[in-house]
Structure 1
């Protein structure tokens, strides 16, 4: 079953988020320090991913084209509206956390990265779900911590994560018919690097050092397909 690993990953996020709700009443200073720790760890993860690039020009052009598209169609604003709409269904105005922030931050942390892409590809191509199950365990613990600080908006991140990874897994069952293995391997490396830089941006925002509109950079995860293809033709 191509979606087995993705479903396990999603279940772990839900369980971790629900457990995190029971620890949401801890003092604010603990939450702040925990978020700083998460932010630093997220930056480290992002840098490790970003340094995997073999063609920096592909990464740069993907981010530039993605940023232009994202600003033009207002991706960040749309994500915030979606998060606010979800939050309005379940929260009151007096609650002291942002469902939108939890939803967006968790979606990016759980959905962007080498494990998401490679794990989903392994599930679809080889029927090997080990990477996604491992990722699910990690995501579960991260979801627990994020929920204590960002609120239960984190649990809704399971929707884009399952859709994203599930789509890749299903397409992967047919992908070898469309793309040669050499192209696919190189593409994954550069996609991981772009995703890594977005992860770094998440970490910087969590530390409140910047206010990068990460949502408006998300189209770079799509434009890299065209950029890398053109680069291979040159």
Structure 2
């Protein structure tokens, strides 16, 4: 049973629900300071993950190819379109809105937290680990972090944050059930490069959350799907 995945998704749901409900009751200085803290934490995690790299050339190539694919299919625009379509009925259902009215600023923050919750290296690796070994400790730890993260961002963005638990659960449960097929084909070197690639995206996400530079992180996401095959091919035929 995917206990860790269920707990992680419930943490995002209830964290988003509680944070949006409290809304303006959370002091302004906390609503402003904590997202910056989470941005710094994302950057720190990114640096740590990047340090695990095995074949830097393969990781950089994957990032470039993945970003090109993302730009061609306009992946980030599609995520923003989905968010815009979801936001209106959510705000009609729950009249209390978030504290960010500027559409561009809202989308910058929303896309960033979608990446953090749904495609972080910790979440993907945790789902695969639970699927093959039954060990849900990684995802339980992530659930605790996501509970508070969702709460703080929901105070600014509103109830739409709790809906992120749906794509998060779908992605993780797919990884959980496919783990027995995927993990036997993955080497430690491929995992290291995958984590490094995720670290680069997390670093860019931290910059975006902190308002330093709005990297198109949504368009970088296809790199997550190709980094392991590229790492394997690079190691087998080039190195």
- TM normalised by structure 2 equals 0.87
Query: What do residues 148-203 of structure 1 show as CA deviations (whole Å, max 9, x unaligned)?
Result: 22322221111221111111111012335x51xxx432222111111111111111
Single out whichever of 47-56 and 81-90 deviates more from structure 2.
Answer: 47-56
Does residue 132 (structure 1) correspond to residue 139 (structure 2)? The answer is yes
**Count of paired positions:** 229
Match of residue 233, structure 1, among 217, 221, 236: 236
8 Å Cα contact 2:55-2:231 kept in structure 1: no
Does residue 189 (structure 1) correspond to residue 179 (structure 2)? The answer is no
| 1:210 equivalent in structure 2 | 213
What secondary structure sits across from 1:22 in the alignment? Answer: helix
Query: What do residues 52-77 of structure 1 show as CA deviations (whole Å, max 9, x unaligned)?
Result: 11211111001100011011000010
Q: Provide the rounded CA distance (Å) in 1 between the counterparts of 2:121 and 2:225.
A: 15
Q: CA deviation at 1:227?
A: 1.0
Does residue 11 (structure 1) correspond to residue 18 (structure 2)? The answer is no
1:158-177 aligned at under 5 Å gives the runs 158-176=165-183
Provide structure 1 residue ranges, at least 5 long, that are not aligned to the other structure: none
| 1:56 equivalent in structure 2 | 56
Q: Provide the rounded CA distance (Å) in 2 between the counterparts of 1:51 and 1:175.
A: 24
Q: Provide the rounded CA distance (Å) in 1 between the counterparts of 2:44 and 2:207.
A: 11
1:45-124 aligned at under 5 Å gives the runs 45-91=45-91, 95=97, 96-97=99-100, 100-101=107-108, 103-124=110-131
8 Å Cα contact 1:202-1:214 kept in structure 2: yes
- Stretches of 4+ aligned residues off by more than 6 angstroms: none
Q: Provide the rounded CA distance (Å) in 2 between the counterparts of 1:62 and 1:16.
A: 34
CA RMSD, 1 decimal: 2.2
What secondary structure sits across from 1:211 in the alignment? Answer: coil
Q: CA deviation at 1:101?
A: 4.8
- TM normalised by structure 1 equals 0.89
| 2:227 equivalent in structure 1 | 224
8 Å Cα contact 2:4-2:136 kept in structure 1: yes
8 Å Cα contact 2:153-2:161 kept in structure 1: yes
Provide structure 2 residue ranges, at least 5 long, that are not aligned to the other structure: none
| 2:161 equivalent in structure 1 | 154
